[in-house]
Chain A
Amino acid sequence: MDARLSADAVACPDCDLLQRIPALAPGGKAACIRCGRALAKQPSGSPDLPLALTVAAAIMLIVCNTLPLMELHVVGRFASTTIAGGAYEMWLQGQRVTSVLVAFCALIAPVGYVSFMLTLLIAVRLPSVPPWTGEMLRWMGHLQVWSMLEVVMLGILVALVKIAELATVDPGIGMYAFGAVILLMPAIGVNLDRRELWRRVEWMDAPR
């Protein structure tokens, strides 16, 4: 029995209704007729845009994790921190579980997501698509749920306001790069045609 079915037939992930996705115009979207869940979209930009945005996000992610995010000056004392520095300080203060969680949501998941995205967007352009692409795309989806950079950004801003009562705090160079990452990450998502990417990956059980 052929296990592969028509490529435009889908079951809605939220209500399981079977339906066919029509050909979409650039910028068009398709939603489930029963529950309204977004099922597909056709980005209006160039198909190369996601790769360009991912390269930019990767560079900015490196900058924002190596340069200080914020600096504190008080009575001749100076302190600065990065995301990894924050998680490490929590570890030193005895909150190890929280420290690992912060490191995962603020560093490992976003870095993993961007590096998987970069690898995949390059891999599907190769003449023969490597066999691990399907599985990598699956893991990328799981990482995306736990990548919380936009929440981290807001958390840093609230911390800055709280500390500003006690000392002089300035955003560091890393903070500007962080701002760029926050804008680039959703831009990748908006311009990426996930269904097209899934169509181009290699099947796990493909004959080799």
Chain B
Amino acid sequence: MKGPTLTAARAGLVSCEACHLLSRPAGAGEPGFCGRCGEKLENRRRGSIATTWALLISAAICYIPANMLPVLDTTTPQGTEGDTILGGVAFLYTSGSWPLAILVLIASVMIPLGKLISLAYLLISVQRGSVKGGRERTRLYRLVVIIGRWSMLDVFVDTFTVALVQLQPLMSVAPGQGVLFFAAVVVLTMLAAESFDPRLIWDSVDPGEPVHG
């Protein structure tokens, strides 16, 4: 390839993130709004790295109580018992539905952890100006965006368990404090993935003139 490849930013154009229309920015540093759909135009998502780190660190902090605190409190005449996420996995495993146990383990424990590690790796590699594996890193980013939503699984499991098992005084299930933290992890990592700009990976893979805005 001869010379730096031509990106929209180097050609003095800006691509709308919502409708992908190419337009000329209204002014340097202030590209304005998309003429077709009204989305705010940005060459690169503003403050992408700092915002993504902030959301990612908040998510990592919430990940601890999400796994330590009970997500469901089951009340029977024998008393109240709290169940953490791993407790729920163990329950599914011992009750014979090991495929579901593995499914919940992947969705609730491994996907959130994988997202935290992957996004941190992507951020560090961009900050260090890494030039290798642009294609692989972009693919990793797309994977994080696609599978991120599946970690909401446990929140929905808890919601419908609570909604159905209200058989006072025989047995009732209430949501525990862990649910809130767990939902926070999912939402914060989804927002972190949204605020990370994969185009930053390519700005250092193929450095031409610096990109402004």
Residues of A within 8 A of B (CB): 1, 3-5, 9-11, 13-18, 34-37, 69-70, 72, 74-75, 77, 79-81, 85-90, 93-95, 97-98, 101-102, 105-106, 134-135, 137-138, 141-142, 145, 148, 151-152, 154-156, 158-159, 161-163, 165-167, 169, 195, 198, 201, 203-205
Residues of B within 8 A of A1 (CB): 24
CB of B201 within 8 Å of the partner chain: yes
The smallest beta-carbon distance between B140 and chain A, in angstroms, is: 11
Residues of A within 8 A of B51 (CB): none
Q: Whole-angstrom distance between the alpha carbons of A161 and B101 in the complex?
A: 11
Contact of A138 with B18 at beta-carbon distance under 8 Å, contacts A15-B201, A81-B163, A156-B160 already known: yes
Say yes or no: B19 contacts A105, CB within 8 Å: no
Contact of A15 with B159 at beta-carbon distance under 8 Å, contacts A98-B175, A135-B37, A155-B153 already known: no
Q: List 18 A-B contacts (CB under 8 A).
A: A3-B35, A5-B22, A15-B202, A35-B139, A35-B198, A69-B160, A74-B170, A85-B163, A101-B187, A134-B19, A135-B38, A152-B156, A158-B103, A198-B19, A201-B36, A204-B35, A204-B36, A204-B37
CB of B192 within 8 Å of the partner chain: no
The smallest beta-carbon distance between B99 and chain A, in angstroms, is: 10
CB of B166 within 8 Å of the partner chain: yes
Say yes or no: B15 contacts A11, CB within 8 Å: yes
Say yes or no: B155 contacts A101, CB within 8 Å: yes
Say yes or no: A101 contacts B160, CB within 8 Å: no
The smallest beta-carbon distance between A97 and chain B, in angstroms, is: 6
Say yes or no: B153 contacts A151, CB within 8 Å: yes
Dominant SS at the A interface? mixed
| Pick from A14, A75, A158, A204: contact of B198, CB under 8 Å | A14
Contact of A169 with B135 at beta-carbon distance under 8 Å, contacts A11-B8, A87-B159, A145-B194 already known: no
B residues 40-70 in Cβ contact with A at 8 Å = none
CB of B144 within 8 Å of the partner chain: no
CB of B125 within 8 Å of the partner chain: no
B residues 150-190 in Cβ contact with A at 8 Å = 150, 152-157, 159-167, 170-171, 174-175, 179-180, 183, 187, 190
